[in-house]
Structure 1
Amino acid sequence: MKYWMFLAAAIAAEVVATSALKSSEGFTRLLPSLVVVAGYATAFYLLSLTLKAIPVAVAYAVWSGMGIVLIAAIAWMLHGQRLDAWGLLGISMILGGVLVLNLLSRSSVQ
């Protein structure tokens, strides 16, 4: 269970870092740029801990899939970015894939 917590924390760190990218304005603003660097460093460190118990294919699929879904939600809430129906369908399919992988597949069990 602790490795899934590491993965959740890695996802959160990556989402924070990616969200700060827009505010960094091409790494010309110091504080947001530091958040980006620290967030990605933390995310990759926690992801490396995750790989001690969760297969890399599963960990990366969950990490990237949930990151995409969360970043899309944050972009919608904070930056007013909208997805059309096809974009929403695509995001829903990514979320569905993560759920299938974790709830139905035996691939995540090691």
Structure 2
Amino acid sequence: MGYGYLAIAIVFEVIATMALKASDGFSHAISSTVCVIGYAVAFYFLSLVLKTVPVGVAYAIWSGMGIVLIGLLSAVFFKQIPDLAAVIGIVLILAGVIVINVFSTAANQ
């Protein structure tokens, strides 16, 4: 169940981060509210994850997938197109998350 909670935490963290950008420095009430609630839900589910998944593994996956998803969504919604170096960096982060999940014994503890 820990990895299911981790997926929920990642989704809400991504929603909250996108809302943070849209809030324009917390000057828009709706996106600011979505941001605060999204982060609260994300951290709640992350706390549940840490009951069963090692903190280093959980945080690596949470932050790595957040970076990848936010990079993709910010290109679509905010027209913030990454340059080649950013794309390579994002691909390497995604590769790291895959390596942790496929090859690490710590991910299965």
Aligned partner of 1:55 in structure 2 is: 54
Aligned partner of 2:86 in structure 1 is: 87
Q: Unpaired runs of 5+ in structure 1?
A: none
Q: Unpaired runs of 5+ in structure 2?
A: none
Separation in structure 1 between the aligned mates of residue 69 and residue 6 of structure 2, nearest angstrom: 14
Query: How many residues were matched structurally?
Result: 109
State the Cα distance separating 1:26 from its structure 2 match: 0.7
Give matches, 1:20-99, under 5 Å.
Answer: 20-99=19-98
Aligned partner of 1:3 in structure 2 is: 2
Q: Could you give the per-residue CA deviations for residues 33-73 of structure 1, whole angstroms, max 9, x where no partner exists? A: 00000000000000000001000000000000000000000
What is the TM-score when the length of structure 2 is the normalising length? Answer: 0.98
CA RMSD of aligned residues (A): 0.6
State the Cα distance separating 1:25 from its structure 2 match: 1.2
Separation in structure 1 between the aligned mates of residue 87 and residue 57 of structure 2, nearest angstrom: 23
Separation in structure 1 between the aligned mates of residue 19 and residue 37 of structure 2, nearest angstrom: 11
What is the TM-score when the length of structure 1 is the normalising length? Answer: 0.97
Q: After TM superposition, which residue ranges in structure 1, 4 or more long, deviate above 2 angstroms?
A: none
Query: Kindly, what percent of the aligned residue pairs are identical?
Result: 50
Q: Give the SS at the match of 1:92.
A: helix
